[in-house]
Amino acid sequence: MGTVSNRGTKERPLWYIRYVDGDGKRKNRPSYQPTKKDAERYLAEVEARVARCDIGIPDPSPEDLRKRTVTVRELAERFLAEYDPPRLRNRKRYINLASSSCNQRLFPFPIASMAAAAVKKRDVEAYRDALRREKYANKTINLTLEWLSRIYTWAIDAELVESTNPATRAERLRTEPSEEHYTREQVAALMSGPDPHPMIAMALYTGMRKGELFGLTWACVRFDLGRIDVRKSFDGPPKNGRPRAIPLHPELVPILRAWQSRCPPTPQGLVFPLRTAKGYRPAVHTDTGDLRLVLTAAGCPGHLERPWHAMRHTFATMFCEAGGTPDALSRILGHSGGGNSITAGYVHVSMDYLARELARLSLRPLGPDNVISMQAFRHTG
């Protein structure tokens, strides 16, 4: 009866098999298997070959050996170098985000040096818990696990590893949806005065994404047609890949007209170019412009994690409180998938609004003439 032994370490095992060959000699051979159970199955196949008097053990091909030994780090590095599907909107930004996640939250951890084919669900959950001990936010940890899952999916499809995706079934951490938005009083403070900030006004009247605001050009502001054509996000296509049109609010038109007359010119014709010490340039996804300074000056909270996105939530809230329908809101926001279930997460109605809506309900009778006496319904015998 043969045996299986580990000649590596607990973190990086090397499973060897010991068996009696057809010549009667006991031999030790590497199994090239990722787990002990796989090595035991391999040993059973070898002993079956010996029993049938088959000569020799079929050595794994270099390709099979590579699939068994490639590490998670090596897969991630190939993903960063080669991943480029046709529908990817902005590969440079996408790979930069993936690279940052890998460098900071994957490569420094033991899972990166494990054979990718040997990683199991429990290993991914141990990795998740290690990230928790490093005090990463739950949302960040979940996003990191999604990157790992995406790397595995790509590698399996590319036949770089023979494995199931161990990250898909690993339990994610509980997260709370974003509640960041501005109150009606804070919006009034931002919009007060004869010359409100044009980019803030655009965000509050349209609900456009930060990248859509920074990527907007004057050619897409159609004063003649009363609409804004959203065609870009920063220097790429919009989030869902499809352009959309947003009606120009009548109160926004004079603000944009006034801003157009003094907007700094750029080669791209940007509506909101980013001011720097050397002039003006297109913004990138890490820029916020002067928004936090404007918020602080208006007495509004300037510490929010995503202040431009809070503007988008604020627009959605005020739109619904004004009686706008969920379907119209979804179309204006550009939510192409999930319908109103996604859009609903952007609405944070106030208690005053709920009180006004609840006050519409009345259970009192309109007057004596409308009251029907219960005596008429009593059985008189």
The two tokens of residue 325 are: 């329908």
Strands 15-20 and 26-30: antiparallel
Sign of CA dihedral 143, 144, 146, 150: positive
Confidence of residue 261 (pLDDT cuts 50, 70, 90): very high
DSSP state of 111: G
Q: Is the pLDDT of residue 30 over 60?
A: yes
Average pLDDT over residues 277-295: 87
Distance CA 153, CA 134 (A): 26
The pLDDT score that the predictor gives to residue 15 is: 84
Alpha carbon distances (Å) from 33 to 3, 66, 115, 144, 191: 14, 11, 10, 28, 66
The two tokens of residue 368 are: 């004596």
The pLDDT score that the predictor gives to residue 342 is: 67
Helix (H), strand (E) at residue 21 = none
The two tokens of residue 353 are: 């609004």
Distance CA 292, CA 300 (A): 9
The two tokens of residue 50 are: 């010996």
Average pLDDT over residues 191-214: 93
| Percent of the chain surpassing pLDDT 70 | 90
Average pLDDT over residues 232-241: 82
* pLDDT digit string, tens, across residues 146-178: 999 999 999 999 889 888 899 998 999 998 777
The pLDDT score that the predictor gives to residue 279 is: 86
Sign of CA dihedral 337, 142, 155, 121: negative
Distance CA 290, CA 54 (A): 76
Q: Which residue has the higher pLDDT, 79 or 371?
A: 79
Residue among 204, 180, 177, 181 at smallest CA distance from 192: 204
The pLDDT score that the predictor gives to residue 142 is: 95
Structural domains of the chain, ranges and CATH numbers in brackets: 3-59 (no CATH), 69-157 (1.10.150), 184-358 (1.10.443.10)
Distance CA 31, CA 47 (A): 13
Strands 274-276 and 244-247: unpaired
Distance CA 42, CA 287 (A): 55
For residues 124 and 145, the answer to whether their CB atoms sit within 8 Å is yes
Q: Is the pLDDT of residue 53 over 70?
A: yes
Residue among 31, 2, 34, 27 at smallest CA distance from 16: 31
Q: Is the pLDDT of residue 337 over 70?
A: no
The pLDDT score that the predictor gives to residue 334 is: 87
DSSP state of 174: P
Question: Across the chain, what does the average pLDDT equal?
Answer: 86
Residue among 150, 164, 78 at smallest CA distance from 117: 164
For residues 68 and 60, the answer to whether their CB atoms sit within 8 Å is yes
Kindly provide the residue ranges of all beta strands, DSSP E only, lying in 287-348, ordered along the sequence: none
Distance CA 244, CA 24 (A): 76
The two tokens of residue 79 are: 């993903």
For residues 247 and 227, the answer to whether their CB atoms sit within 8 Å is yes
Distance CA 330, CA 338 (A): 10
The pLDDT score that the predictor gives to residue 59 is: 62
Interhelix angle 326-333/307-321, rounded to 10 degrees, is 150
- Complete DSSP assignment for 195-261: S--HHHHHHHHH---HHHHHH-BGGGEETTTTEEEE--BTTB--TTS--EEEEPPTTTHHHHHHHHT
Residue among 174, 176, 194, 192 at smallest CA distance from 184: 192
- The three-class DSSP label of residue 6 is strand
Q: Is the pLDDT of residue 381 over 60?
A: no
96 burial level (CB within 10 Å; 0-12, 13-18, 19+): middle
